[in-house]
Amino acid sequence: MSIRVSRLADEIRDIIASCFLGGRLQDPRIKDVTITSVVLSADLQIAKVYFRVYDLESKDKALEGLQHAGGYLRKQLSSLDLRRIPELKFFYDDGVEKKESIERILYELKNESK
């Protein structure tokens, strides 16, 4: 990923995350959402927005809420100097769960070898 694309992805993440501050989004499904990262396609047409929630059981509702708010969030990106505003696609960031799973497996392997 080029430096320009990386910086633009960070700026998109910051703009979207700022929309959650100050009660600008009233949807209760997305009240506990944290935007973790944004990955842009090489042609800048698609932005994959990764999010986390505190309660894992509410991740499906949060995804629905984010998809519902997608038009508003995309409109907020109009402040960027782009020919086309990227389409937003939302994904749950399961990196923490994967890390914990790997650590648990390594811990079990270490204890088995003793």
**DSSP one-letter string for 19-47:** TTGGG----GGGTTEEEEEEEE-TTSSEE
CATH 3.30.70.20 fits 3-112, yes or no: no
pLDDT band, residue 114 (cuts 50/70/90): low
Give the integer Cα–Cα distance in Å for 114 and 46. 49
6-19 pLDDT, tens digit each = 999 999 999 999 99
- Shortest CA distance to 15 belongs to which of 93, 67, 94, 81? 81
Give the integer Cα–Cα distance in Å for 100 and 58. 20
Domain boundary assignment for the chain:
3-112
Average pLDDT over residues 35-59: 92
Cα maximum dimension of the chain: 61
54-76 pLDDT, tens digit each = 888 889 999 999 999 999 999 99
Structure tokens at 98: 């994967």
